[in-house]
Amino acid sequence: MARYAGPNDKIFDSSAETTPFDLFKEWDVKGAVAATADGRAIDLHTRLTDSGTILPILPGSPEGLEVIRHSTSHLMAQAILRLYPGAKFGVGPSIKDGFYYDVLFPVPISEEDLPVIEAEMKKISGEKLRIERVDMTSAEALEKFAGDPFKTELINDIGADSVSLYGQGEFWDLCRGPHVPNTGYLKHFKLLSLAGAYWRGDEKNVMLTRIYGTAFADADSLKEYLARMEEARLRDHRKLGRELDLFSFQPEGPGFPFFHPKGMALMNTLMDFWRREHAKRGYSEIRTPLILDRGLWERSGHWDHYRENMYFTEIDERPYAIKPMNCPGGILVYKTSIRSYRDMPMRVAELGTVHRHERSGVLHGLMRVRCFTQDDAHIYCAEDQITDELKRVMELANHVYGVFGFKFSVELSTRPKDFMGEPSKWDLAERRLREALESTGTKYRINPGDGAFYGPKIDYHLEDSIGRTWQCGTIQLDFQMPEKFDMAYIGGDGAEHRPVMLHRTILGSIERFIGILTEHYAGAFPYWLAPVQARIIQVKPELGKYASEAEGLLKKIGVRVERDARDEKLGKKIRDAELEKIPYMLVVGEKEAETRSASVRSRTRGIIGPTALEDLGSLLGDEFNPLLER
């Protein structure tokens, strides 16, 4: 006799084999897509033999969506197999907001083929094919997948005596599960795009076709998601970067962005804001070299833990590395002098250019590049100053993100498997980070094992205007680098002491942050950030002298202004300025020239009307500008 406990204290006793499906029917639990048995996810058709707590996994829950999406990836694979006999399959996991499958097709396909695959998926969904799990020995699995190099490699790499397979109709694949009971559960899905993907992420392996899709528990959620995706497409920073002439990418430098004049105006304004906020909080700015001796990176631990992401060169027959991070160079600056406890805390900031080798398949506009500017700062302090310094950094992050209108969530990332140093120091560092978070009332969640190799960290995830999240700021507490580099300061007792090092960024990568801002604002940057803050629209060529005078006056007071003197109709000039999302249009015609004024249109406030030339500065000065705040 087995006893099963369920939701709301429900109990069921059975002397025969029972499935979660049977239990939920008995308990009148509707809509489950899978179940948990004492916390372990299982299929609804799993035969239960031992007593335990059996709970439903409902379709709208995160766990339920994962089951639906994973099952839908198999549905897609079965449809592909029907349409393209001979196709071979890599892996097909669920991912955030959807799923993908890597496929080796017998013929090339394009995105135009996705609706055909989707239609076949709907057909299979209507067949309500039972999805079955089979456990077999690895030898049996190798025999079943004989001739399939991908499955053979996976089975051999698993190295277990047995493996589990899931099948529906003619399609079978290696899988841990669980899955929905039959294909009829899968109704609300959409195939989104395709891309190239190397088998197992290795550039030396064959290139497969990766098809991305999404699936939801109900039609409304799918519709809402697709609407968000369309909005994201319209906000794509790569598209807006071209249209607004901010930046470009060239085949001569894949992954290395080219910033145009307007993009540089945006970047410089952002960095001016960054410098102002750091100067107010007692940071000193430094600059360290781009290329440093390989021995430095061996000493820092990057050679052992990070070298696959680094670029190398040789100078005077000595090996050097192009820096992927700024911290070792900052440490060398620290060590140029004997430091005293009176210097602590020592706050040093650097807008440092770093290079990291990213595989071509993961490059994505400004969001994933090989060269970027990191808004780094390193704080060297005594142990009893750690909590106060952490709070100061958190206050700065709160302020900066507030200026841009971002909501954010916080994660505490703990010791990874590949870590450097003594576990006791890691425990102390994690404890101090928790104390800072809890003493400030900051809500956070634990991200286990995702700390840097030299220390645990606090990560900030920003939420943009359409609900997407981006990881930007980070605060890392490091006891390891000071040990590695034998860093010291002279304490009040005249003895040497080891400083603690805080690594931190607020924006993360300046380039990536610009990409995030571009999508957050849909290219309509606030006045203070806009590459062009005002455009003078000259109605007739003969008004050039007056329009030029107005332009000069605004430039003199620091407005980023340009003049449109093209021989085009007024309506086209206004429309072009609107498309370029310029905050202010200043129309000057004959009447405005006579009255020494401009007819003002604001992107946010609409038509303001005639404004005297000498009043334009105060009108524009009313716009929010953190660079002018006292």
* Across 347-356, average pLDDT: 97
**CATH code for the part of the protein at 62-225:** 3.30.980.10
Helices (H), strands (E): how many in the chain?
Answer: 19, 34
**Superfamily grouping for domain 534-621:** Anticodon-binding domain (3.40.50.800)
Determine the pLDDT at residue 441. 94
DSSP code at position 615? G
Is the pLDDT confidence value at 51 over 80?
Answer: yes
**pLDDT tens digits for 67-79?**
999 999 999 999 9
Q: Distances in Å between the alpha carbon of 430 and those of 85, 395, 442?
A: 53, 19, 15
* Across 449-457, average pLDDT: 90
Catalytic residue among 45, 188, 457, 563: 457
Is the pLDDT confidence value at 411 over 70?
Answer: yes
Determine the pLDDT at residue 630. 53
* Across 245-250, average pLDDT: 96
Determine the pLDDT at residue 629. 65
φ, ψ for residue 4, nearest 5 deg: -120, 130
Cβ-Cβ contacts under 8 Å for 62 (sequence gap 6 or more):
none
Catalytic residue among 503, 512, 520, 535: 503
Determine the pLDDT at residue 9. 84
Catalytic residue among 22, 376, 459, 464: 376
Give me the architecture of the 2-57 domain, per CATH: Roll (3.10)
Is the pLDDT confidence value at 468 over 90?
Answer: no
DSSP 487-548: --EE-TTSSEEPPEEEEEEEEEEHHHHHHHHHHHTTT---TTT-SS-EEEEESSGGGHHHHH
Determine the pLDDT at residue 613. 93
Structure confidence at residue 448 as a pLDDT band (50, 70, 90): very high
Q: Is 378 a catalytic residue?
A: yes
Q: Distances in Å between the alpha carbon of 205 and those of 90, 243, 475?
A: 12, 37, 37
Name the average pLDDT for the chain: 94
Contact 338, 326 (CB under 8 A): no
Q: Distances in Å between the alpha carbon of 388 and those of 140, 331, 398, 410?
A: 61, 21, 15, 18
Catalytic residue among 356, 425, 497, 573: 356
Catalytic residue among 374, 476, 480, 533: 374
Full-model pTM: 0.83
Q: Are strands 534-538 and 584-588 parallel, antiparallel or unpaired?
A: parallel
**pLDDT tens digits for 336-349?**
999 999 999 999 99
Q: Which of 261-270, 285-294, 444-453 has the lowest mean pLDDT?
A: 444-453
* Across 598-619, average pLDDT: 94
Q: Is 503 a catalytic residue?
A: yes
Phi-psi region of 255 (alpha: psi -120 to 50; beta: other; left: phi over 0): left
Q: Is 376 a catalytic residue?
A: yes
* Across 165-184, average pLDDT: 96
* Across 523-532, average pLDDT: 97
Is the pLDDT confidence value at 166 over 80?
Answer: yes
**pLDDT tens digits for 558-577?**
999 999 999 999 999 999 99
Is the pLDDT confidence value at 12 over 90?
Answer: no
Catalytic residue among 175, 327, 381, 472: 327
Structure confidence at residue 323 as a pLDDT band (50, 70, 90): very high
* Across 488-515, average pLDDT: 96
**pLDDT tens digits for 575-590?**
999 999 999 999 999 9
CA-wise closest residue to 364 among 259, 254, 466: 254
* Across 202-220, average pLDDT: 94
Catalytic residue among 188, 235, 378, 504: 378
Determine the pLDDT at residue 598. 97
Q: Is 327 a catalytic residue?
A: yes
Q: Name the residue ranges covered by the structural domains of the chain.
A: 2-57, 62-225, 247-288+341-520, 534-621
Determine the pLDDT at residue 256. 96
Q: How far is CA 510 from the centre of its chain?
A: 14
Determine the pLDDT at residue 589. 96
CA-wise closest residue to 217 among 7, 63, 41: 63
Contact 103, 97 (CB under 8 A): no
Q: Which helix (H) or strand (E) holds 446?
A: strand 445-447
Token output for 348: 């040093």
Fold of the CATH domain 247-288+341-520: BirA Bifunctional Protein; domain 2 (3.30.930)
How many Å is the Cα radius of gyration of the chain? 30
